[in-house]
A and B are shown apart, each in its own frame.
Chain A
Amino acid sequence: MFGIIGYGGYVPRLRLVRRAAAEANAWYAPQFVNAAKGTRAFANWDEDSITMAVAAARDCLGAADDRSRIASVLLASGTLPFAERLNAGVVCEALTLRDDVQAADVTGSQRAGVSALAQAVAQVRSGGGDVLVLASDNRKTRAASSQELDFGDGAAALQIGRDKVLAEYLGAGTVTVDFVDHFRAAGEDIDYAWEERWVRDEGITKLVPRAVRAALAEAKVEAAQIDHFIFPTTFQKMDQQLAKACGVRAEAVTDSLASRVGDTGLPHALLLLAHVLERAQPGQHILLAQFGSGAQAMVFRVTDEIRNFRPAKGVSEWIRRGVEETAYTRFLSFKGQLDLERGMRGEQERKTALSTAYRHRSAILGLVAGRCEVTGSVHFPPSRISYDQGKPLQDTQKPYKLAERRGTVLSWSAEFLSFHRSPPHRYGQVDFDGGGRVLMEFTDTGEGEIDAGSAVEMTFRIKDIDDRRGYTRYFWKATPVRAAATEKGSE
């Protein structure tokens, strides 16, 4: 047996209140005002498809120090920050995976997430090690468009393997045709879409059932046996129509998360799958399908093992953590669509020394400190000679990972002087459980959430953007440890 052995997701904390966006644009596009309901997730300024993929992967993999089982990483995204430089390679460094890991970026179609999953299944079936499938998107839309309101940002992660399978792979179906419902030319930021009725009637309605039928046939599962039907779409009731056309029961159609998260695009089928797996019962059948350059569908059967796995936080928890944002200009600014005054401090040179970045990649991307084998003291960044007062030992430090450890704030401030994309700029000294201290930035933090003694955890984020050269630099930031909603007894 092989299939899904772990799952996780990530939804950024910020939620644009759709009505606030519609009202800001009402002078121009009044048609959205009464229709705009609920919220959509959007990435913080320091998040992109790489950081969200890392967050989803960590949600899936948990806090375990040993990630040597992962033999392969597939990162699917239509919004990769680098056109050339292996984006999945950055993710692998952040996850401190072995450096003999296979890693590839998968892109080019809305169904790339499902395609990556199919590829992972094929790899595991042929005897390879565990594959980590990641899908992440941070899409840009035009202001005052329906996409701006419909879309959302997020990421999903699935670990595929043979050990402790919690959703067995049963079969897949694929239709690859050059049906262009929308496209984005190389170098462009924003999609160009064709008429909705044509996409729906000639595209989705005809192509998706073919993939679904093929998947069900290979899986030897009747459509009526499907308990969870996943089909991401921004067209109203399209998922239900499709289910009906395929013979799937109406109650099997899963919540698309449109009202809270929005359509995250390429990762959405996998995000919904991760969400479904949180509540799926042993013996249930899951069918997921995604449209794009044809269509692809996959069928899984949930096993008893589902009871033994929990993601670190899980999609539901990420959803619950959302904070509503009514400042539409913040959304535009974070999406790079509003050029706010930066002041002189915003002119700072942000060039990255690539040789230095490479030499210290483990410390910078992996947040790996050095722990003295003699005294046990933890050094960040790692150093040849230890800081221990009066006994500076040399070459006694061994790699010591900090990313999954919690910290406590020793000191902090929030300043309005330096250029920051989301002022105030907050940073302070963080002491890690088990040793180690780093002066670091805080992110996803509201006023009053950080004080001396506050508990924080690590999140992988954009450190700096070198606008002049188009280079994004990453590091870790501290974010408040928030009690899980289950502890508060909600939902």
Chain B
Amino acid sequence: MAAGIKDKVAILGMGCSKFGERWDASPEDLMVEAYNEAMADAGIAPEQLDAAWFSTHMDDVGTGRGGTPMGIALRLPNIGVTRVENFCAGGSEAIRAAVYAVAAGACDVAIALGVEKLKDTGYGGLPVATVGTYIPQWYPNAVAPANFAQLASAYRSKHGVDAALLKRAIAHVSVKSHANGAKNPKAHFQKAVSEETVLKAPIIAEPLGLFDCAGVSDGAAAVIVTRPDIARSLGKRELVTFKALQIVTSNGWELQSNEWDGSYVHTARIAARRAYAEAGITRPREQISMTEVHDCFSITELVTMEDLGLSDVGGGVKDVLDGMFDADGKIPCQIDGGLKCFGHPIGASGIRMLYEMYLQLQGRAGPRQLSNPSVGLTHNLGGQPSQNVCSVSIVGLEGA
């Protein structure tokens, strides 16, 4: 295996807009909001940025295509801006590009920024995306909730889980995230909900109800990265460094062969294995302090705990109901509210996950601060369980 990225690149600064139904803000406003915070946090001037990566998913609503929307909105000093798009994993893809550029020595300071302005599409839920000329001729006109809900039917079948029990377990996932989001002033949803409310909500895609689905939000997030020695020369201490950045993309095996059983995310397991190897993590349950995972739907979070090796395969239901991933549990998950409550502006989500890890590791997370976390994991999933791009990133304090 390659030497990896461990401790080669540090976070110089981060910023994140308030997420939510931002009727008051354009995508440019959101970008400026995240950028300003990140630049102030980094303590650098725009001229010190060498390169930029821009993550946005929707083509024609919000920002437009290419790298120019970011270059123009932030009046960047004519540096290269590359737009990346990898479904909901686009934010993590932008981070990876910026980090790799720094690690390669191609630039000293790079910025990755993600933004999405979903509420200007007019839809409740994600808008309908186009996928070329061939696929729509045979593929169902499928929506994300039903693609992910299929994890539930296959999981029940594989593990012989009673439908009501699984429904209760995934309800707990959402109840937990709402409790966490209530402590986050930047979160889209800041109100705790009861299990009863979650269970009784209208069905969106069997068995997922309204509260099993992530928020559809506007928002932006940004990260500025550099080499640790440069960060120190800029006066930074207690650096948060990258331990692993892994992205795994489906090759069609899940959706076409008869081998995948549909109850888990194949790419997530591979990405986790590679990330642990890159970061030198051998006992994730002991070594990972906290996680931010791609909880686009409650069932996704439950199976992700198994895919990451934090629960045994088939053990997710029990661990979730036991509170293992609650804020006061053994490995807290979605301390900031997650996609569920912080919100899910597609292109920004991967960077938002990193933002919470960064704040937590630096002890700056306010009322939701965990005690002494040292290593955090983010998991960002684009596409659908049967055909996707999955990233697993590990960050931690330098030397951890």
Contact = CB atoms under 8 A, between A and B. Distances in A.
8 contacts: A381-B138, A415-B145, A415-B146, A415-B206, A416-B202, A436-B256, A440-B140, A452-B156
B137 interface: yes
Contacts of B206: 413-415, 424
Dominant SS at the A interface? mixed
B67 to A, nearest CB: 27
Interface string A339-375: 0000011001100110111001001100000000000
A452 B161 CA distance: 12
A370 to B, nearest CB: 10
Interface string B145-158: 11101111110110
A364 B141 contact: no
Contact of B140 (A349, A363, A377, A427): A427
B282 interface: no
Given A353-B133, A389-B253, A431-B258, A415 B204 contact: yes
B130 interface: yes
B146 A437 contact: no
Interface residues of B, number: 42
A247 interface: no
Interface string A380-394: 110100011100000
B262 A415 contact: no
A357 B130 CA distance: 16
Interface string B288-316: 00000000000000000000000000000
A473 to B, nearest CB: 6
A427 B151 contact: no
Interface in A434-491: 435-441, 451-453, 463-464, 473, 475
Which of the listed residues A352, A415, A436, A440 has the most CB atoms from chain B within 10 Å of its own CB?
A415
A448 B153 CA distance: 13
B153 A451 contact: yes
Interface of B: 122-123, 125, 128, 130, 133-134, 136-143, 145-147, 149-154, 156-157, 202-206, 208, 251-253, 255-258, 261-262, 386
A360 B137 contact: yes
Nearest to B156: A452
Which of the listed residues B137, B258, B261 has the most CB atoms from chain A within 10 Å of its own CB?
B137
A417 B204 contact: yes
A43 B91 CA distance: 47
B137 A437 contact: no
Contacts of A364: 137-138
B153 A452 contact: yes
A436 B152 CA distance: 22
Give the 4 A-B residue pairs with the shortest CB-CB distance, closest first: A452-B157, A353-B133, A415-B205, A411-B150
A20 interface: no
A428 B150 contact: yes
Contact of B146 (A344, A345, A414, A431): A414
A410 interface: yes
A451 B125 CA distance: 26
Contact of B205 (A414, A431, A463): A414
Contact of A437 (B142, B149, B258): B258
A344 B151 CA distance: 27
A18 interface: no
Contact of A410 (B154, B252, B256): B154
Contacts of B151: 411
A437 B138 CA distance: 13
Nearest to A474: B137
B270 to A, nearest CB: 11
Nearest to A450: B153
A379 interface: yes
A435 B140 CA distance: 20
Contacts of B143: 415, 417-418
Nearest to B250: A387
A417 B151 CA distance: 18
A18 B72 CA distance: 65
A427 B142 CA distance: 8
A357 B137 CA distance: 7
B154 A452 contact: yes
A440 B296 CA distance: 22
Nearest to B259: A389
B93 to A, nearest CB: 23
A475 B150 CA distance: 22
Contacts of B156: 452
B138 A475 contact: yes
Contact of A387 (B150, B154, B251): B251
A428 B153 contact: yes
B300 to A, nearest CB: 13
A363 B137 CA distance: 10
A377 B154 CA distance: 22
B204 A416 contact: yes
Given A344-B122, A379-B256, A439-B255, A425 B153 contact: no
A441 B136 CA distance: 12
Given A410-B261, A413-B150, A441-B140, A387 B256 contact: yes
B133 to A, nearest CB: 4
A414 B204 CA distance: 8
Contact of B138 (A349, A363, A414, A416): A363
A146 interface: no
A439 B135 CA distance: 11
A388 B259 CA distance: 10
A412 interface: yes
A123 interface: no
A390 to B, nearest CB: 10
A437 B140 contact: no
A360 B257 contact: no
Given A439-B139, A475-B138, A417 B146 contact: yes
B108 to A, nearest CB: 40
A305 to B, nearest CB: 39
A429 interface: yes
A437 B255 contact: yes
A464 B141 contact: yes
A344 B146 CA distance: 18
A429 B150 contact: yes
Nearest to B157: A452
Given A380-B256, A417-B204, A452-B153, A439 B386 contact: yes
A369 to B, nearest CB: 9
